[in-house]
A and B are shown apart, each in its own frame.
Chain A
Amino acid sequence: MTAMFSVDETIVALASPAGAGPRGIVRLSGSATREILSGFFQPADEARWNEARIPQRYSGHLVWAECRIPVSVDVQFWPGSRGYTRQPLAELHLTGSPPLLEAVLVELLRRGARAARPGEFTLRAFLSGQLDLMQAEAVLGVIDARDPRELQTALRQLAGRVSSELVAMRADLIDLLADLEAGLDFVEEDIEFVSRDNLRSRVARMAETLQTLRDRAAGHWQSRPIPRIVLAGLPNAGKSTLFNRLCGQSTAITSPEPGTTRDVLSAEWCVGSRRYELLDTAGEEDARDVLTSRMQQLRDEALVEADLVVWCRPVDLGEEDDHRDEQARVTAEAKAPRMLIVLTKGDLHPESGSQPLIISAESGLGVDKLARAVEQALASDAISERQWLGSTAARCAGSLDRAILALRQAVTLADSHGGEELLAVEIREAMDHLGEIVGAVYTDDLLDRIFSKFCIGK
């Protein structure tokens, strides 16, 4: 947990706003900056790069195994202590393709960089005297606000459903370690020790499960190129009509019958230069059969992964429906990161104009207002957050990889009759890495397991 203060490790993060843009910047800082780049970055003028003493810009290509075509890049390199962090620092300027930036980030991690924690570049700048406390406090404000609910959101969005499985995995690892440690610490007790075969197969199984999770999660760990907005509300709240209005097409079938939309529909909504991914969902209703329950599930997933949920509520709701709407909205809000409420079907009651966001998809009333509200809601802290989420994702992936490595090492040890105390080192390391994703590790957890499981004490 204290690793965040180590200024010796070389850290990396996306420095440009996430999402598609003309260019993307990956920032790398720490004593090993040059070593990490060497071999990966192939400068056009090799001699000049090798003798770099002063901050300069270098053109060249990135070349690595996962990518068949060399990627054109400009590297701004501060070899000494004149960069922002007062350590060797490099900025990789690339085209702003999110998958490409993601891949470069992953490759730098593989080469020994560590994903920067939120505010870590700023922290280094502060520690080296580049920033004063007032500036640093601004960063702190960000860190404060994001813990821990924001972390939850990040994990929910990026790790998707993986994080809960990781929590379970970590519990399994503690169980395994408890078995192992009990045999080491309580040698005089009449407890049955776990056998080498049993141990080996459990570790191997966990390494495999983790690898499967890692592979499955890879998709969730891509940053999305454009913000995702989800339309939600009770059945027949006019979501699909609004959807069609905003996207300028009739992708969604609309009818006055409730429950017309049975699937999640997706289309692009363009407002001037801005683009959003717009999702239309089935209305909130009780699951009556397999089909409706599957629909609810899809909708829930969409809510969780949304950047913004627009809750549609018809202006003309009766008292009973009004109550149902409120209940459903509260439930949905708990799942969604941000919510905007709009009153739809404004054409039915055009005179109740005191409400800020009354829209009519039929007449186009309020649609401009909605676009501005959406822009505002996403702009508030969206950029920095998404950037942060991006590094969270890379960090999760890195931690998972290291956990898998440690478990594989444990399997090798088990096969080669390595000592149990060495196996324990590897399993602890795997646990620590999982802990970096899902929470801290305390020794007491372990003793609790041992004491509840075994009868200890002569």
Chain B
Amino acid sequence: MTTYDYDIAVIGAGHAGCEAALAAARLGARTVLLTMNCDTVGQMSCNPAIGGVAKGQIVREIDALGGEMGRVIDETGIQFRMLNRSKGPAMHSPRAQADKKAYQFLMKRRIEDQENLTLRQEVVEGLLVEDGPSGGRRMAGVAVRGGASYRCRAVIVTTGTFLQAIMHTGEAKTPGGRAGDGTTAGMSACLKELGFELQRFKTGTPCRLNGRTIDFSVLDEQPGDDDPQPFSYLTERIAQTQVSCWLTETTEAVHELIRANLHRAPMYSGQIQSSGPRYCPSIEDKVVRFADKSSHHIFLEPEGWTTREVYCNGISTSLPRDVQDTIIRSIRGLERAEIMRYGYAVEYDYAPPTQLRATLETKLVDGLYFAGQINGTTGYEEAAAQGLMAGINAAVKLKGGKPFVLDRGQAYIGVLIDDLVTRGVDEPYRMFTSRAEYRLLLRQDNADRRLTPLGREIGLVDEQRWSQFVRHEADIAAATERLTSTRHEGNTLEEWLRRPEVVWSHVVEMSNELASLAIAERAARQVEIETKYAGYIRRQELEISRQERVVGIPIPETFNFLAIPQLRKEAKEKLTKVRPRDLGQAGRISGITPADLTVLLLYLKEPDRLSSV
């Protein structure tokens, strides 16, 4: 039997797996990335797009920490738009259509180029664990098909929708996590054997059309931005030409057709029992739940420069093939359209994420990490963020370092992981800006200022990124100093800039000294935003520091909640299940009351008393 020796193994090379493997390798861990198929590394299984509201902010954060997603989409995007431009800067959200194949090949290339990282095609059949020195179990390696195994001290599982996956198109059922691919059957059984709880979710995808058969002349065009903005702080500008997306819509006749065939839709026939995301409903769902709407948008999104395949965003469906054909032919511009791939729903196992610590390491097995869709999330960005954090934490732990956990006031990534491990999920989890308490601080324009110093400290931020960041900060400091010290008609420039009608170029005109500083555009924009939002920013910062003092009190991992006589039964159960790491996290568990926290606090302050009760 062949045995390979590594520090860390990552199972699955999707968006979570790629970031996890790159981060671990860059931090010096000898890492192997195992995939069922080396041709599907970094594949976009669903929508050929990165970013969007809240998600775009996450990509900026991944980039600020030294992740890869932002740089790859910048090079392979075919259309860039900044969403929510009409709103305040906290709401601005970058989004890009990707050349799907170019994206995944470039990601694969980055993996191949990475030192310390081996990409290997394998089918994983089991996890190898051993007894740890302190009583629990710990990771020992991974067994793969063909009698080989990989010995390692940490394993990051990023298997996406591939656990016990079944695809549904009408009455037809096919095992597999994505059209054209299989499923990983052994893994679910293995996780259950280790004591993990698994649940089922459902998600869906629409059909893809051949662009040659679409009549674009009758469709509404949706072009990219004139000044496309990059995702990565390292990308100077987006140089490639952009393509347009196209807009059409469903009609009452289409809805009628869907209603008439509902009994053949797996979600309605009872063939699928598990729940799917409410924010990404299938067209059958839309027609049933919003019966008064006579039309729904369909965005036709090209999948790349070199293919004519077009993604039909807005009509995700698992209706039978013949119904899908009829629906498509009843839509403006698609009368003669040909389906290249039919839409389908997929059901898969996920592991409720309350089984994880904030580092994404499982509570059950030392050195075992879960990241991405296996944790009940959706979205490439959410997956990549978890992969990055799991990769960092696995590598840091092997080096004996401290856990790397982001707070809710620091990053959307912090909100994401805290929500997952504290509250769990009851539908596939997607990020929204409304999930963040400190939305005005977590902006796409300042992700580098929030996170790059942390990335540097860990060792993921290289010299190039760091020196650029230092320059940016110096510009901001110089400009801020000048704004507060220079007066114009009795008021400081800062006071001028705070007025709604005054913009940066106006204050530059007011002061030659400010003009002579030649502040870079991005730094000037940053100063302008910080000045205009100043009151609210201060308010939210104050709130965070107030919370931190209060909630930062740590709860020891071995703390026995059951031994506190004053705790309510429900509180004991919930606290024992989630095992919060501090008082703040305990307070965010649904159903935990202030009285519970008071009791907890008292025992935390005098732990000796606890052992005597």
Number of residues on chain A facing chain B (CB within 8 A) = 48
Interface presence of B91 (CB below 8 A): yes
Expressed in whole angstroms, the Cα–Cα distance for A168 and B602 within the complex equals 35
Residues 536-555 of B, flagged 1 when their CB comes within 8 A of A and 0 if not, give 10011000001101110100
Closest to B287 in A: A455
Contacts of B53 in A (CB 8 A): 184-188
Once the chains bind, are B83 and A188 in contact (CB under 8 Å)? yes
- Tell me which residues from 226 to 266 in chain A have a Cβ below 8 Å from any Cβ of chain B: none
Contacts of A187 in B (CB 8 A): 53, 83-84, 87, 93
Stretch at the interface among B278-286, B339-347, B457-465: B278-286
Once the chains bind, are B598 and A456 in contact (CB under 8 Å)? no
Contacts of A3 in B (CB 8 A): 550
Stretch at the interface among A77-85, A316-324, A439-447: A439-447
Query: Which of A126, A147, A457, A458 is within 8 Å of B605, CB to CB?
Result: A126
Once the chains bind, are A442 and B598 in contact (CB under 8 Å)? no
Once the chains bind, are A143 and B590 in contact (CB under 8 Å)? no
Once the chains bind, are A455 and B598 in contact (CB under 8 Å)? no
- Contacts known (A136-B602, A185-B53, A447-B432); A419 close to B88, Cβ less than 8 A: yes
Contacts of A144 in B (CB 8 A): 566, 595, 599
Residues 127-141 of A, flagged 1 when their CB comes within 8 A of B and 0 if not, give 100000100110011
Once the chains bind, are B546 and A8 in contact (CB under 8 Å)? yes
Query: Which of B536, B597, B599 is within 8 Å of A422, CB to CB?
Result: B536
Expressed in whole angstroms, the Cα–Cα distance for A136 and B602 within the complex equals 8
Question: Dominant SS at the A interface?
Answer: helix
Once the chains bind, are A117 and B594 in contact (CB under 8 Å)? yes
Residues 431-458 of A, flagged 1 when their CB comes within 8 A of B and 0 if not, give 0000000000011101100110001111
Stretch at the interface among B194-202, B292-300, B502-510: B292-300
Query: Which of B84, B314, B539, B602 is within 8 Å of A140, CB to CB?
Result: B602
Among A117, A136, A186, A187, which residue has the most Cβ atoms of chain B within 10 A? A187
24 A-B contacts, Cβ less than 8 Å apart? A2-B551, A2-B587, A4-B594, A5-B601, A8-B546, A119-B598, A136-B602, A140-B566, A143-B598, A148-B593, A184-B84, A184-B87, A184-B433, A184-B434, A185-B434, A187-B84, A419-B91, A420-B87, A420-B91, A421-B440, A422-B536, A451-B279, A455-B286, A456-B281
Once the chains bind, are B432 and A451 in contact (CB under 8 Å)? no
Contacts of A5 in B (CB 8 A): 550-551, 553, 583, 597-598, 601
Expressed in whole angstroms, the Cα–Cα distance for A110 and B500 within the complex equals 31
Q: How far is the CB of A37 from chain B (nearest CB, A)?
A: 23
Interface presence of B584 (CB below 8 A): yes
- Contacts known (A421-B88, A456-B279); A123 close to B83, Cβ less than 8 A: no
Expressed in whole angstroms, the Cα–Cα distance for A185 and B52 within the complex equals 9
- Tell me which residues from 50 to 104 in chain A have a Cβ below 8 Å from any Cβ of chain B: none
Interface presence of A379 (CB below 8 A): no
Interface presence of A307 (CB below 8 A): no
Contacts of B296 in A (CB 8 A): 190, 455
Q: How far is the CB of B433 from chain A (nearest CB, A)?
A: 5
Expressed in whole angstroms, the Cα–Cα distance for A148 and B571 within the complex equals 14
Contacts of B421 in A (CB 8 A): none
Contacts of B314 in A (CB 8 A): 457-458
Expressed in whole angstroms, the Cα–Cα distance for A190 and B536 within the complex equals 30
Interface presence of B471 (CB below 8 A): no
Expressed in whole angstroms, the Cα–Cα distance for A450 and B278 within the complex equals 10
Closest to B547 in A: A2
- Contacts known (A1-B594, A425-B440); A443 close to B87, Cβ less than 8 A: no
- Contacts known (A133-B602, A143-B595, A421-B88); A6 close to B83, Cβ less than 8 A: no
Contacts of B278 in A (CB 8 A): 451, 456-457
Contacts of B290 in A (CB 8 A): 455
Closest to B596 in A: A147
Interface presence of A149 (CB below 8 A): no
Once the chains bind, are B500 and A185 in contact (CB under 8 Å)? no
Interface presence of B406 (CB below 8 A): no
Once the chains bind, are B434 and A443 in contact (CB under 8 Å)? yes
Q: How far is the CB of A299 from chain B (nearest CB, A)?
A: 34
Once the chains bind, are A1 and B598 in contact (CB under 8 Å)? no
Residues 408-449 of B, flagged 1 when their CB comes within 8 A of A and 0 if not, give 000000000000000000000000111100011000000000
- Contacts known (A144-B566, A456-B278); A1 close to B587, Cβ less than 8 A: yes
Once the chains bind, are B500 and A417 in contact (CB under 8 Å)? yes
